[in-house]
């Protein structure tokens, strides 16, 4: 079941975050972002267990994907795809025209997911990431 993320989900979300990103967000960043009216966070929950989550930032006509991650135990089961579908519904309701994201240049699973949804590479930020240092690819989906 996909539903909005709540602060009570953050224990489980932070566990997945640690296993999914080498330099993920701090819990306090999630708490602040969850409270922002410009952000929407979703979780996929099965039998009281959070299996994946995603978050976006909404601006007039534009949105940015902040995060999408799935518990390593539940990957390749369509969870990220279900989260993306739900996010795209939100974007449609909000009349968003362009959806942006940044991804590590070596992150093949994520790049493949985004390409499947029609994102194309529209830029590159050299040495944008740390731990390890790596370029960010900017990807865009016109809606």
Ligand X SMILES: CC(C)(COP(=O)(O)OP(=O)(O)OC[C@H]1O[C@@H](n2cnc3c(N)ncnc32)[C@H](O)[C@@H]1OP(=O)(O)O)[C@@H](O)C(=O)NCCC(=O)NCCS
Find the distance separating the first CA and the last CA of the chain, reported in whole Å: 25
Select the residue interacting with ligand X from 56, 68, 91, 137 (CB under 6 A).
68
E-strand stretches of the chain? 2-4, 39-46, 49-59, 62-70, 98-104, 120-129, 134-142
Question: In angstroms, rounded to a whole number, what is the distance separating the alpha carbons of residues 8 and 6?
Answer: 5
Is residue 2 involved in binding ligand X (CB under 6 A)?
no
Residue 56 engages ligand X in binding (rule: CB under 6 A): no
Site membership for ligand X, residue 112 (CB under 6 A): yes
Among 103, 137, 139, 141, binds ligand X (CB under 6 A): 103
- Residue ranges that bind ligand X, judged by CB under 6 A: 20, 52, 68-70, 75-81, 103, 107-110, 112-113, 116
Catalytically active residues, by annotation: 102, 114
């Amino acid at each position: 079941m996909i539903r909005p993320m709540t602060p009570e989900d953050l224990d489980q979300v932070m566990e997945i975050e640690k296993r999914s990103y080498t330099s993920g967000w701090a819990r306090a960043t999630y708490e602040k972002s969850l409270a922002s009216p410009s952000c929407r966070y979703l979780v996929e929950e099965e039998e009281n267990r959070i299996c994946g989550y995603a978050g976006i930032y909404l601006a007039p006509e534009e949105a940015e994907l902040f995060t999408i991650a799935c518990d390593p135990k539940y990957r390749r089961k369509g969870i990220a795809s279900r989260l993306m579908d739900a996010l795209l519904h939100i974007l449609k309701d909000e009349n968003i025209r362009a959806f942006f994201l940044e991804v590590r240049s070596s992150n093949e699973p994520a790049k493949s997911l985004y390409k499947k949804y029609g994102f194309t590479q529209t830029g590159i930020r050299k040495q944008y990431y740390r731990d390890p240092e790596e370029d960010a690819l900017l990807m865009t989906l016109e809606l």
